[in-house]
Structure formats: structure tokens, C-alpha cells
Amino acid sequence: MRIPRRAARVAVLDPAGAVFLFRYDNEEVGVHWAMPGGGMEPGETPRQAAERELHEETGWSDIQLDGTVLCLWEHDFTRAGVPVRQHEHIFLARGPHRDPVGDLAAAHAADKILRWRWWSPDDLSSAAEPLWPPQLPELLAAVRTDGPPAKPIDLGHVRIVLSKQDLREVTGYAAESAQEVLEIFERAHPADSRPRDAIDAAWTFARGGERGKPLRDTGWAAHKAAREADTAAAGAGDAARAAMCAASAAYLHPLADAHQVKHILGAAAHAARAAELVAGGDRAVGAERIEQARRRTAPAVVDVLRRYPAAPPGGGRVGELLRDLDAALRSRS
């Protein structure tokens, strides 16, 4: 039984269109990024709660809301040991690009806020960790092109059920995909163990270990290795990204967000692209790798995939390969 809770948040946009987000860690749904905000106090309106929470969490006292609401949504999580279903108003505001001010350590610790940052539109579209709400990139893109909505966009109740075994199945599949092309990276960088470490950490979780800091850390390290390898040898960067995806697969988020498909199939898509680049960009090689990935996908992984919307547009050639595999698996009888 979940306790209903009402809350309000503020999407603060800087002059360049970046949005300010906090990184939270929740006992039920894990690490995610969300806007400043929190629960409404007795007698408060959503707008009053949003203004109060914004000030308490950032120290900013000069941002006044004009009442524009970007969206409404409901989601499930656990707060202080109590399962809740939270209904949120998300307001829009503009402000300068700046740091939080004042002594906020105690407030952030109480809310399990790990860090903060400004997210550009490009950052949002390639987020490696879940965003709340998951439709935030598309919502803010519409604001940039069309202006604020005439009335709040109601996202409804966004929820997907995932068991730990579901996560282990997905992570094992991703680790296997990344393992297949690890040699591409290691031929170019024989002394760099970061992608291998990420794959090993993914296998540890898939085989019964627990999620934790080492898994996150190895994923981020593999991501850094990919960025450093992009200009070194054909396919090395994508091979490292496959390893990063393997580690991040354990953090598949239970929200109906098309971008979450990248946690399930991203390792296979990057592995296919790595093999394609080694073959001089031969798209037939990438297509064959996708077919191999389709054939070895266990029914349990397909079942998880079908709980999510279809893979999102964009992402260049890797995005194409991702969508090809996504469509092939969804059509499997």
C-alpha cells in the first residue's frame, strides 16, 4: 500500500537553456536526477511549496515563479522507509547560471542529494542516468521551440515494475555483448583495464552480486576511456562504450522512458558499431552483429524490453543499430 503525497518542483533554466538538476539516491529506485523541490506542507499551494523548496535547496531567494506549470506526473518511490505515490507539479522559471549559495549540507544530506549540475540540451539527450520525469528532454525541447505550454502537460502515472532478477538478466546480456568486442579496445590500449573492469563488475552483479559504488565507478571510468580512445583506433571508443553500457545496465530505471532502452540494448548496439568500424565502416558487418545479438537474447530480456516504449530517435549510426535490434526483438514471437 502506497501513501499518497503531493509535491512541487521547479525547472530553472539559464539563459542558454540549461536546466539545474540534483543527483539523488533513493532506496527503492536508485540514483536519478531531478529538479529542486519536495513535498507540500499543510496549507501550501503547489506554487508556494515550489518556491519554498527551491530556496531551501539552493539558497536562491530571487527567483519568483509566474505560475507557469510545465507538467504534472505521478511516480512511486520510498521516502524514509515509507512507500509513496507522489503527485508533482513542475513549474518553469528562469535564472542566471550559478552555484547554490549558503550552508546547504544538512538539507542535502537529509534529502539524499549527492551533487548538482547544470544540464545543457545535449547533456539531457545523452544522459547515462535516469531523469525525473523521464520525458524531461522532450518537454524542455518543446519549451525552447514553442515556448511554455498553454496548459500543464499531464504525464499521468509513470511506473514499470522491475525485479532484481530482471536487472541481472539485462546486465548479463549487456556484459556478454561488451565482452565480444573488448579485444578491439585492448589491442589499441593494452595497458588500460577500465573497460575490462566495467565488464567484470557487470558480470559480478549479473551472477548474484549487489549493485554498489564499484559498479558505478567502473562504468564512469569506461566512459572516460571511451572518450580518450575515440581518435586512437577504429572501433576502440565504441568497444569501451559497450563496456560502460554493461555496467550501467544494472541501473535500468523503472520509468516508461524510451531512453531506458539504451540500458538494455546499448552494449549490443555499441559492440555492433565497433565491429563495423574495424571492418572499415561496412554496415553489413554491423547488421550481422545485430542479428547475432537478436539470436542470443534470452526471453527474460525480451520480456523486460517490452515493458518500455520503443527505442528513441537520434543517436547516429549507433541509434540506428539500437532501433534495428529493438524492433527485431519486439517482433519476436
pLDDT in tens, 57-86: 999 999 989 999 999 999 988 888 898 999
Nearest to 18 by CA among 130, 148, 121: 121
Q: Give the model's pLDDT for residue 78.
A: 85
Q: To the nearest whole number, what is the mean pLDDT of the chain?
A: 93
- Average of per-residue pLDDT across 311-324: 95
As a whole-number percent, the residues of the chain with pLDDT over 90 amount to 77
Q: What's the DSSP call for residue 303?
A: H
- Distance between CA atoms of 240 and 229, rounded to whole angstroms? 8
Does residue 133 have a cis peptide bond before it, meaning omega lies within 30 degrees of 0?
yes
Residue pair 23/35 in contact by the 8 Å Cβ criterion: no
- State the Cα–Cα distance between residues 299 and 309, nearest whole angstrom: 18
Instruction: Report, as an integer, the average pLDDT of 113-133.
Output: 88
Element (H, E) at 34: strand 30-34
Q: pLDDT at position 289, please?
A: 98
Helix (H, G, I), strand (E, B) or coil at 27: coil
Interval 124-146 mean pLDDT: 87
Nearest to 273 by CA among 312, 225, 236: 236
**Whether residue 255 has pLDDT greater than 90:** no
3-state DSSP helix/strand/coil percent for the chain, to nearest 5?
50, 20, 35
Q: Output the CA torsion sign for 291, 295, 300, 302.
A: positive
Element (H, E) at 275: helix 261-278
pLDDT tens, position by position, 158-204: 877 677 888 999 999 999 999 999 999 999 999 999 999 999 999 99
Are 248 and 195 a contacting pair, CB within 8 Å? no
Half-sphere exposure (Cβ direction) of 312: Cα atoms closer than 13 Å: 19
HSE value, Cβ hemisphere, 13 Å, CA-based, for 30: 19
Exposure of 190 by Cβ count < 10 A (0-12 exposed, 13-18 middle, 19+ buried)? exposed
Pairing of strands 82-94, 69-79: antiparallel
- pLDDT given for residue 326 in this prediction: 96
Mean pLDDT confidence for 195-220 = 94
- Tell me the pLDDT tens digit for each residue of 85-115: 999 999 999 999 999 999 999 999 998 999 9
For residue 333, pLDDT over 90 is answered with no
Phi, psi of 4 (to 5 degrees): -70, 140
The whole-number pLDDT of residue 254 equals: 78
Pairing of strands 153-157, 69-79: parallel
**Residues in contact with 210: Cβ distance below 8 Å, sequence separation at least 6, in sequence order:** none
Q: How far apart are alpha carbons 102 and 57 in whole angstroms?
A: 10
pLDDT digits (tens, 9 = 90+) for 303-312: 889 888 889 9
**Percentage with pLDDT > 70 across the chain:** 99
Q: What is the pTM of this model?
A: 0.59
Residue 128 pLDDT exceeds 70: no
The residue with cell 572501433 is: 235
The predicted structure's pLDDT at residue 280: 95
| Angstrom distance (rounded) from CA 222 to CA 195 | 5
Chain Cα centroid distance, residue 303: 20
pLDDT at 232 over 80: no
Q: Could you read off the pLDDT of 16-52 as tens digits, one per residue?
A: 999 999 999 887 777 789 999 999 999 999 999 999 9
